[in-house]
Structure 1
């Protein structure tokens, strides 16, 4: 698939065996447009085939990891890869993308700072390890007027009570709470996050890739036997059904009339996200 520019995702090698990908739309809070997603999948899959790469770090440029999918028009055709069309296509497409990352042979580490909202949080949870800044803000605000997530990871990552609170309020959690709930492995002061993640990546890189592939798969198979993959796929049908509600239809109509105003109206009663510090979906 054609994409806007290779600069949508920056590539560097901070240490031997460690490849780092940086989402590079800082002015848009790294909103996940389909051109950006296409480039990201292209690079992740190339790294899986490169014997010089043993682990990949994924982070965001500028003030945040990612504020979510690009609701200003960046999620239409062409898509990064084919997903069966019909009702519920977008949610199925998102979940297929998550499992494309999940099924890579080599580990992927999410490095999260600032906003990690909606699709951004789905992207982070698709990775094998998640390290966050203590002051990160992680949430899924579209539950307030659109739908539950496309990729319904919350119950698996955060447990029943934590997941239910996030689903019923749309409130964000900080990095320390993300660790407590199980969304993330560890939290660090923001100015120490880069160094800490590279240090952890170097530890992961000490294990040969052929062994790491089996290590990853053993954990994933255990989760899948408990039903993770089936449950997340089933969630796409609930998400599609939610989009038929009048509240959701009204919300999308408001977005077409003006994204900033629609998001501010959604969050005004809660006094957070865009209405407090700036954010997005």
Structure 2
């Protein structure tokens, strides 16, 4: 009988949670006891500047490059237009994910009732930020790959990169489930195999870069570092795969069990009420004042 990754008992769930790391993370990222001024500054100033920068890069950069394609020094007009086409093609998904990413940031202004829920809310936030990072990296690296290795080289990197990213995510899910239920686990894609695949594809592109994977004449391609830069597209998918794996494991699976067994984990981690619940420190100070008055 197949076991669901979301139906483990409290004792089983402790196998995927490291108490020392968890306690430090919960206390360091605890915004529930921040002052109102601190919350307003974090959300409107720090958060506003960060999201404005992401929005300008995510939505503005592709269209600026496309509009000024003929005057860009290090990229060919064709690759600049390619970046613009990618920005246009992914505009709807980008704006949807960007909006979903902003919503959890309201957690700063309106904190949840306890630390467990606060960490679970971080899942869509960091997942959205990871997606935005992948899109930005893919836009820039696709331009370099297109100029250096042509359409065939770019498509090869995208195809292999997507497959590797899916395998990394699936492998991460299997690993978490195996640890959760103390099952045997055999990785589909070990670090050695991954390095061999990435190395083989990179070597294949480098050896045939002047024939099968013919690039374009650009200022960037006159330099030796255009060859490794043209291979960043493949690495972007691999790194993103591990990033999404960490986000899913840390902010989804672990946080799910923190919420499901909230009382049990508060006792297990020995976190006092004033740290675990919203406005816990204020309530404690009020109680101390009342006791002093008595």
Question: In which range does the TM-score fall when normalised by the shorter chain?
Answer: under 0.3
Radius of gyration: which is bigger?
A: 2
Normalised by the size of structure 2, how large is the TM-score?
A: 0.27
Bigger relative CO (Cα 8 Å, ≥ 6 apart): 2
- Structure (1 or 2) with the greater strand fraction: 1
- Structure (1 or 2) with the greater helix fraction: 2
